[in-house]
Amino acid sequence: MMQELRAAVAAEWTKTWSVRSTWGTLAASAVLMMLVSAQLAVAHENNNTNEITTDDAGMTTAGAIAIESFAMLQFVLFTAAVLLVTTEYASRSIGWTLQAVPVRGRVLAAKAAVVAPVMFAAGAAVCLLGALAAKPLLGEWGTLDGLAYDMFATGVYSAAGGVLSIGLSLVARSTATAITALFVLLLLLPVLLSAAGSPLAEAFPSIAGDHFMNGDTTEYPLYAALLIILAWTAAAVLAGLRLLKTRDA
């Protein structure tokens, strides 16, 4: 049982790194995180030093700036996970995947076992890069305090989001559908609900992720935020597994 799973993970690992899209999306995430973090840092510094006093935000941390950028850019990172599934359907190479590993649950477990650590590392890395880009531009208004937690929390959220993306992509099968679904789930719905003043927004994974990464306990404790994220991830995985088992490849 474990041998078979290890072999399946090794295959997924090889597949993950032998296509350009993985390298491309990860590199794009890193570059965009640095650019957007730099932009946000400039804006923060500017708000504090301009003549308008109402927009002064005071001190911040470089990590907080990076997390703010990450909230906008998480799709780019998750696209790497989405493509690992959807390109298999687009190219019909899912056939080889399932011929090699006919146990559907094992295929999903192997993909998740590759995506989770890769996304953890990528999330932590882009958080660090964003913070490093922001720090010099914040000048006296930003520190590197709490950066270790920020990186860890962004990594954890990214790992969960990556696995969620795998589950969602197995349901959607096509890249366009999967990215759209991800966009609606992580951005559109929570933003609309929160604009309408609905407390339901707090139950969405991206909002819970925001609280979790920012260490913000005003709505609920951090463990509750993490549980919300993991519940959505589990739901997406179960939906993906169910369809993987019952639909023809």
Partner 1 sequence: MITLRNLTKRYGEVTAVNGLDLEVRTGKVTGFLGPNGAGKSTTMRMVVGLDLPTSGQALVGGRRYADLRWPLREVGALLDAKAVHPGRSVRAHLLALAHSNRIPVRRVDEVLETVGMGKAAGRRAGGLSLGMSQRFGIAAALLGDPPVLLFDEPVNGLDPDGVRWVRQLMRSLADEGRTVFLSSHLMSEMQLTADRLVVIGRGRLITDTPMRELIAGGSSVSVVCPDAAGLAALGARLPGSRAVSRDELLVPGATTRHVGDLAHELGVRLHALRENEVSLEQKYMELTENAVEYGAAR
In the complex, the residues that contact partner 1 under the rule CB under 8 A are 3-4, 7-8, 10-15, 18-21, 87-88, 91-93, 95-96, 98-103, 246, 248-249
Minimum separation from the CB atom of position 70 to partner 1 (A)? 27
Residue 36: Cβ within 10 Å count: 21
For partner 1, the closer CB: 92 or 195:
92
Longest dimension (CA), the chain: 66
> Alpha helix (H) ranges present in the chain?
2-17, 20-49, 62-90, 94-100, 104-138, 147-172, 175-183, 189-195, 205-214, 222-246
Minimum separation from the CB atom of position 249 to partner 1 (A)? 4
For partner 1, the closer CB: 101 or 109:
101
For partner 1, the closer CB: 14 or 46:
14
For partner 1, the closer CB: 15 or 211:
15
Minimum separation from the CB atom of position 126 to partner 1 (A)? 24
DSSP code for 61: E
Minimum separation from the CB atom of position 158 to partner 1 (A)? 24
For partner 1, the closer CB: 9 or 181:
9
C-alpha gyration radius of the chain: 19
Place of tokens 């989770």: 116
User: 60 pairs with which residues across the strands?
Assistant: 142
Give the pair of three-digit tokens for residue 154.
């962004």
Minimum separation from the CB atom of position 169 to partner 1 (A)? 15
Give the pair of three-digit tokens for residue 234.
């589990």
Minimum separation from the CB atom of position 101 to partner 1 (A)? 6
For partner 1, the closer CB: 124 or 170:
170
Place of tokens 């969960």: 160
State residue 102 phi and psi, 5-degree precision: -75, -15
